[in-house]
Chains A and B, each alone.
Chain A
């Protein structure tokens, strides 16, 4: 039974992590200035967290405040914060915008 619980937790946790990681990356990809961390943090992070909490609360209310739902969404919330923290502090990758890639491929015409 314990093995089954650990197995299910790993699958659910892994799936949640992937969803959060992709959605947070999308915040960077679709930002006007994807390489400006402070800009992304100020313009995208507040709305991302508000929407995440809003959706979590809807599901928690629908599930009648069961302990499992509370624990799951609390973990999701802190996991999202950790991923944002990682992306904002450690991620060195430079994103290129469509505009930049077009400009780079064009020769400088007279």
Chain B
């Protein structure tokens, strides 16, 4: 049953991907993967988290059908590794899931074969199997084949009827590459059907708790000194950030009608520096609250100062968001500007989790676990958005100015919208021609796509 399922999957794999570009096939592959994993790991699929990861994986597959973007392909790949890694060990952290998922995909079959054989040898649970004599098998297959071919060649010369029959045999319908892709598909499904784990990393992860514990080196005089240093350092940093925020508010309220070049320089230089400052802020807090200082009874002032600093850093994030939003309003959306917003969301999550870490006396692993989980969620959510469409729509209809070349060079996900804009917007002749060319190429591509490469835009086109 298992072998048959793998064999059918391999044939389907080659049907989906051989000589095809990405489209509906990746979604169908996602369904096939989930089906194979379900057949072989039914007990794990009773777990709620497994069902969530499977759904997320299918959703990312579906987003590729709706808008084929690099981000959605990356998200699909990450979700694939997450699901497989989660099935190998349901209690491990998400980054260990990625490692296990990647390892299973690369070498699951080899690992199972070797690890199982070694276990059998050490336990001596099974009787000794007779080793396979590969040389004997090679002899059985190769020697008769060579002799048969030689005799066919000889008989062909002796009888014209026999020669005609032999010449009529045509193997051209066999596509070696198709078979090779099917073979790879079989190997892939053979690797993933029973997920395995990178044992040292998984064991370490399962052993590592989220909470901090008091160590033997707990010494009141040393901690008193550390506490004093922390209080002075974070007080000064608090004062500095307050001063910065006051001047920032003054700057934003006084010069709202900035020139493009000034605003651009402000945003680019300012945001890079502020991004670095937030990362350094988190690192300083992690260093100060790395160990026994968390258990020092007189650390209340230090903790309050740390909370204040985190909240002020969050205010700094709002200030950057405001500047970035202003920039977007005046000069339109771009991937870099969206990237800044995504970074700001991640930074806010990082700051909030640092606050929770200090409050609940958690270790750095807790922070790493929560933040990687948050990054995964953001990746999945952002992959469901058709960014090219929304960038084009915003820049055409809401932004004060726009860069046409930037929009034109985006992927085909905005082509139908660009064509729609021709009717309502006034553009120069060159731009109109460029849009028409892009539209015609895309329509031709959609209409000539095979069913494996099908995209949602094809149906949109058909309903027009």
Contact = CB atoms under 8 A, between A and B. Distances in A.
B107 A49 contact: yes
Q: How large is the interface on A (under 10, 10 to 19, 20 to 34, 35 or more residues)?
A: 10 to 19
B110 A81 contact: yes
A81 B99 CA distance: 19
Contacts of B122: 38
Nearest to A38: B118
Given A42-B199, A49-B107, A50-B102, 9 more contacts: A37-B118, A41-B118, A45-B107, A46-B198, A50-B103, A53-B102, A74-B184, A81-B110, A84-B110
Contacts of A88: 114
Contacts of A50: 99, 102-103, 106
B110 A85 contact: yes
Counting from the closest, the 5 A-B pairs by CB-CB distance are A46-B198, A46-B103, A49-B107, A42-B199, A49-B106
A42 B107 contact: no
Contacts of B118: 37-38, 41
Interface of B: 99, 102-103, 106-107, 110-111, 114-115, 118, 122, 184, 198-200
Residue with the greatest number of chain A CB neighbours at <10 A, chosen from B115, B118, B122, B184:
B118
Nearest to A78: B187
A53 B110 contact: no
| Interface of chain A: mostly helix, strand, loop or mixed | helix
Contacts of A42: 115, 199-200
B107 A81 contact: yes
8 contacts: A37-B118, A46-B99, A46-B103, A46-B107, A49-B103, A49-B106, A50-B106, A81-B110
Contacts of B184: 74
A42 B118 CA distance: 12
Interface in A12-45: 37-38, 41-43, 45
Majority SS at the chain B contact face: helix
B182 to A, nearest CB: 14
B350 to A, nearest CB: 26
Interface string A69-99: 0000010000001001100110000000000
B106 A53 contact: yes
A38 B121 CA distance: 11
Contacts of A89: 114
A41 B107 CA distance: 12
A41 B114 contact: yes
Nearest to A74: B184
Contacts of A49: 103, 106-107
Contacts of A46: 99, 103, 107, 111, 198
A11 B18 CA distance: 30
Contacts of B199: 42
A11 to B, nearest CB: 24
A47 B198 CA distance: 9
Nearest to A44: B200
A85 B110 CA distance: 9
Contacts of B106: 49-50, 53
Nearest to B122: A38
Nearest to A88: B114
Contacts of B111: 45-46
B200 to A, nearest CB: 6
Nearest to B118: A38
A50 B102 CA distance: 7
B107 A43 contact: no
Contacts of A47: 198
Contacts of A37: 118
Contacts of B102: 50, 53
A41 B115 contact: yes
Nearest to B198: A46
A50 B196 CA distance: 14
A18 B341 CA distance: 48
A63 to B, nearest CB: 18
Nearest to B102: A50
A46 to B, nearest CB: 4
A78 to B, nearest CB: 9
Contacts of A85: 110, 114
Nearest to A53: B106
A42 B302 CA distance: 44
Nearest to B201: A46
A81 B110 CA distance: 8
A77 to B, nearest CB: 8
